[in-house]
């Protein structure tokens, strides 16, 4: 299944869904909690199925991040972030403050680092999700490009333009140090054995 890119502007004939409405749809049984959709810019977007390479990278990154982070931070794996009134993405991984993850009634509204693992979703992650995370002020966003065997790093968000000011790629054999999370270092090569 291919994921379509969410348009920057929604045509007049479409109605955006707010996060509260999305939650009511789940509560009413219109959407199941295990349904593979996420709310992006007011639209329900199907999530692509995970192949083995995608699952492996999430597994390895989760292991590496959890080992390196202290008790004041949490690693969320494929859990919602309530970033805006009309968006609740479920990134592959997010590093959030422990206090922000401690609520049983609301999802974290911000993250220090968001990571998406991209196969078929590469275009969507590069365009739509990059703009969403930049508008939300996420300081650092990584796209693990499975085909390119690299991590595309986005730093220094400009919320007004929905873009990151600094972007670069780190390939296998090199190490990547997070700027937004002290002491977090990933050897990119371990993700692409």
Q: What DSSP letter does each residue of the chain carry, written as one string?
A: -PPPPPPSS--TTS-PPPHHHHHHHHHTTSS-TTSSEEEETTEEEEPPPP-HHHHHHHHHHHHHHHHH--TTEEEEES-----BTTBB---SEEEEEHHHH--SSS--S--SEEEEEESTTHHHIIIIIHHHHHHTT-SEEEEEETTTTEEEEEEEEETTTTEEEEEEEEETTSEEE-SSSTT-EEEGGGG--
Percent of the chain with pLDDT over 70: 94
40 vs 49 pLDDT, higher one? 40
With bands split at pLDDT 50, 70 and 90, how would you rate the model's confidence at 2?
very low
Domains annotated on the chain, with CATH: 48-191 (3.90.1570.10)
Give the pLDDT confidence score for residue 7 in this predicted structure: 52
Give the pLDDT confidence score for residue 13 in this predicted structure: 77
List 38's β-bridge partners, or say none.
45
Residue pLDDT, tens place only, 77-111: 999 999 988 999 999 999 999 999 988 888 999 99
Q: What average pLDDT does the segment 169-187 reach?
A: 94
Residue 39 confidence (pLDDT) above 70: yes
Average pLDDT for the chain: 90
The pTM of this model reads 0.88
CA distance 138 to 154: 10
Q: Contact at 8 Å (CB) between 37 and 45?
A: yes
CA distance 117 to 55: 9
Give the pLDDT confidence score for residue 177 in this predicted structure: 96
Q: Residue for token digits 């993700």?
A: 191
Q: What average pLDDT does the segment 6-32 reach?
A: 80
CA distance 56 to 52: 6
């Amino acid at each position: 299944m291919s994921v379509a890119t969410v348009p920057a502007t929604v045509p007049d004939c479409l109605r955006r869904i707010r996060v509260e409405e999305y939650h009511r749809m789940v509560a009413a049984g219109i959407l199941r909690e295990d349904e593979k959709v996420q709310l992006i810019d007011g639209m329900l977007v199907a999530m692509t199925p995970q192949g083995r390479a995608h699952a492996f990278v999430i597994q390895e990154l989760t292991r590496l991040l959890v080992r390196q982070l202290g008790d004041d931070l949490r690693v969320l794996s494929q859990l919602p972030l309530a970033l805006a009134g009309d968006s609740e993405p479920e990134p592959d991984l997010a590093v959030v403050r422990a206090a922000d993850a401690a609520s049983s009634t609301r999802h974290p509204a911000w993250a220090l680092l968001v990571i998406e693992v991209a196969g078929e979703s590469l275009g969507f992650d590069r365009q739509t999700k990059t703009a969403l995370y930049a508008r939300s002020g996420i300081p650092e966003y990584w796209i693990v490009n499975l085909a390119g065997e690299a991590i595309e790093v986005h730093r220094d968000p400009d919320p007004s333009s929905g873009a990151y000011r600094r972007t670069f790629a780190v390939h296998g054999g090199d190490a990547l140090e997070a700027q937004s999370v002290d002491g977090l270092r990933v050897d990119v090569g371990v993700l692409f054995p």
